[in-house]
Amino acid sequence: MRRLLIVLGLTLCGSLPAVTFDADTRQLNRAVVGASYADMLSRITPAVVSIRTTATLPLDYVRRLRGITSSDIKDYDKKTGEVQLYIGQGSGAIVHPDGYIITNRHVVMLANNTMAKDAYVTLADRREFKAKVLGVDDNTDIALLKVEERNLPYAHFCDSDKVRVGDVVFAIGNPMGVGLSVSSGIISALGRSPGLNAVEDFIQTDAAINPGNSGGPLIDFEGRIIGMNSAIRTQGQGGGNIGIGYSIPSNLISLVAADLANGRKFLRGFVGLFGEDLKSEDAAKMNLRGGAVVVQDVTDKSPAMKCGLRPSDIIVGIDGKTFENWNELRLSVVKRKPGDVIQFTIIRQGLRSLLNVTVAERPAGT
């Protein structure tokens, strides 16, 4: 009897109509603004590369290292007994069809602060090239690589001075070694100076940036490079992304990269002054709407001293324009070439005047 009941139950279930689910198979209308960024990203991602640096080590030494797998080994020379080992990883962007690639300095530097002898770049189409490090700039954390290949896909820079808080951005790179990845967000702030480099004017974004993204591009809605993803703020040592990432602005990158590409060192402007932001209550008393910097010190025999700038002078304009703070004023000097003339608008004892300062080359060690 029990067997009969079971059989009847199965028979009843089998007689019910099959369950089906509706599917809307129409292709997504990507012409609708905001529906998809796939077309734009398909144009820019071929210009984004993964970068791995190597070091040549004795086989006996490599055998003593923990966690080394075959994927960590680039090459093994049976004659010398040396192993070429992958030791660093990052991202980069091709910015010229003849194989010029931008990345972070720290991507191509070893733990002992020497430059890696060999670097290898892998394109989105899986082509791999050995790259030469043309040069690095210590103060901006920018490096330029070159591969001997022509007609490569490349990305264009945009004018980073024109970007605004709230603009949509995309961070592209090879985070955690998982492969080419894209994250999105907005520009959260401009002109950040978290104290990572000697010269910094970071763009802050909430687009996810993680280890391995360093050197990869931050792009705008049209696929142009806004910045280079370089650092994140985390909670505790080894923490992941919490929505505060820093990117070097494209205008600074292009200045440094152009000098490195043409065999020149990046010359920084120098006028010989040190200042600090005027207190907000003092600025309010003077009815100042923009930034203002109080000159604290003027270097002896410097361009600033020669033009007549003095301690206690208040700088309120650069070339007839206002600025935000001391960091912006300092950067405007750093970006100038020796021989350029900067016009400062100053207030001295309540009176405004103009001073023309001829920029000099920044002395080593300053």
Residues identified as active-site: 106, 141, 214
User: Which residue, among 150, 139, 160, 138, has the nearest Cα to 217 in the 3D structure?
Assistant: 160
Q: How many CB atoms lie within 10 A of CB 66?
A: 4
CA 153 to chain centroid: 20
**51, 215 Cβ separation under 8 angstroms:** yes
- In single-letter form, the type of residue at position 26 comes to R
Residue-wise over 303-317: b if at least 16 C-beta within 10 A, else e?
bbbebebeeebbbbb
Residue 292 CA neighbour count, 13 Å, CB half: 22
Distances from the Cα of 320 to the Cα of 23, 201, 290, 345, angstroms: 62, 21, 12, 7
- Give the integer Cα–Cα distance in Å for 93 and 157: 11
Q: How many CB atoms lie within 10 A of CB 108?
A: 24
Alpha helices in the chain (DSSP H): 2-14, 38-44, 59-64, 250-261, 280-285, 303-306, 326-334
219: part of which helix (H) or strand (E)? strand 217-219
**155, 200 Cβ separation under 8 angstroms:** no
